[in-house]
Amino acid sequence: MNAALDNRFKSLEMLAIRLKPRGMTNYFRSLAEAFFGSLCSLITLRLYGNVEAPLLTKILEQHGSRLRELALIAFNYDKNARICTVSEILEICNSCPQLERLSLRIKRTKSNWLETQHYEALGTFASLVGLSLDLDCRTPYQSTHPTVDEFSDALINRAVDETLARSIYDIITSNKPGRPLAYLRLTSCSTYLLHSSGLILDKRTSNMSRRFLLRRNERDDSDDIEVTEIGKRSREHLDELYRSRDAEIKNRAGHEEMIRNAFEKLWPSKFKDRD
């Protein structure tokens, strides 16, 4: 950081940096603020790690007016990983009028109104043409043996399919001003539980979280979008692998009944048809 403070990076326009202090102390925060404040306005900024809101505000004040690309990249193993709020998304929008590409993580909350607000806020960026969203689908269990309700919530949050992907795209683009969105990349993260029963349950749900790339038709007069599932072949292979282990899973006392109850709660009509 001393080099930056000595004003040695006069021509720097692109920066990718990992911020991982042992603790976000006042000293580190002031040092980080001084570092970003000493730089000339950046065009591309990729921040890896957990960037606290006050530091993000300072960064946007210094660099937002010129930024064309901003990435706030969280680490999956970090239980305190940064998840952007609606107010922070709007702050980025107001601070970065020229922003063309944005990457960030938001919280999945069963597609309720709070989650939808995030997508509506992302639809206010006039210059944005490329958006990458990492959906945080993690559902914290209160015990080592999740209840039917907890497991049902996990199923809903992790069910990232093409229908949901199209819905997210439609919400973002329906009232978007300025330039049309060229692409939306959707990924998702979830955390495996370490104990054996939780690991089995998470394997049942992790394969429901799919990744998609939605691209607008290159013709200006077309509203059609092309949807591609990223890593489909690998997902199908894992799905087949998990299905082949169903016999082993069913032998785990109580787990199969709990799983069935959760699925029946969410999709009762399908179970009635089977019966």
Q: Is residue 41 part of a domain?
A: no
Check whether 257 has a pLDDT greater than 90.
Answer: no
Q: State the CB neighbour count (10 A cutoff) for residue 224.
A: 8
Instruction: State pTM to two decimals.
Output: 0.84
What is 176-203 written as a DSSP string? --SSPP-EEEEEEE----SSHHHHHHHH
Interhelix angle 255-266/196-206, nearest 10 degrees: 30
Q: Is residue 7 part of a domain?
A: no
Q: Give 70's strand partners.
A: 45, 102
pLDDT at 262: 72
pLDDT at 195: 40
pLDDT band, very low/low/confident/very high, at 258 (cuts 50, 70, 90): low
Q: Give 261's strand partners.
A: none
pLDDT band, very low/low/confident/very high, at 92 (cuts 50, 70, 90): very high
pLDDT at 264: 74
Residue-wise pLDDT tens digits, 33-53: 889 988 999 999 999 988 888
Q: Is residue 153 part of a domain?
A: yes
Q: Is residue 212 part of a domain?
A: yes
Domain count, the chain: 1
pLDDT at 156: 84
pLDDT at 193: 41
Between CA 271 and CA 264 the distance in angstroms is 6
**Residue given tokens 């072949």 in the structure block:** 233
Q: Is residue 86 part of a domain?
A: yes
Q: Is residue 210 part of a domain?
A: yes
Residue-wise pLDDT tens digits, 194-249: 344 444 555 556 667 789 999 988 766 667 899 999 988 877 777 777 666 655 55
Q: Are 215 and 182 in contact (CB under 8 A)?
A: yes
Please state, rounded to an integer, the average pLDDT across all residues of the chain.
81
Q: Are 118 and 106 in contact (CB under 8 A)?
A: yes
How many residues make up the chain in this entry? 275
- Select, from the ranges 70-79, 117-126, 146-155, 198-207, the one with the highest average predicted confidence (pLDDT): 117-126
**Residue given tokens 């894992």 in the structure block:** 238
Q: Is residue 83 part of a domain?
A: yes
Full residue range of the structural domain in which residue 203 is found? 68-274
Between CA 126 and CA 147 the distance in angstroms is 44
**Please, what is the Cα angle at 215 between 181 and 95, to 5 degrees?**
25
Q: Is residue 9 part of a domain?
A: no
What is the CB-side half-sphere exposure of residue 182 using CA atoms within 13 A?
Answer: 9
pLDDT at 219: 67
pLDDT band, very low/low/confident/very high, at 112 (cuts 50, 70, 90): very high
pLDDT at 248: 57
Q: What are phi and psi of 15, to 5 degrees?
A: -145, 130
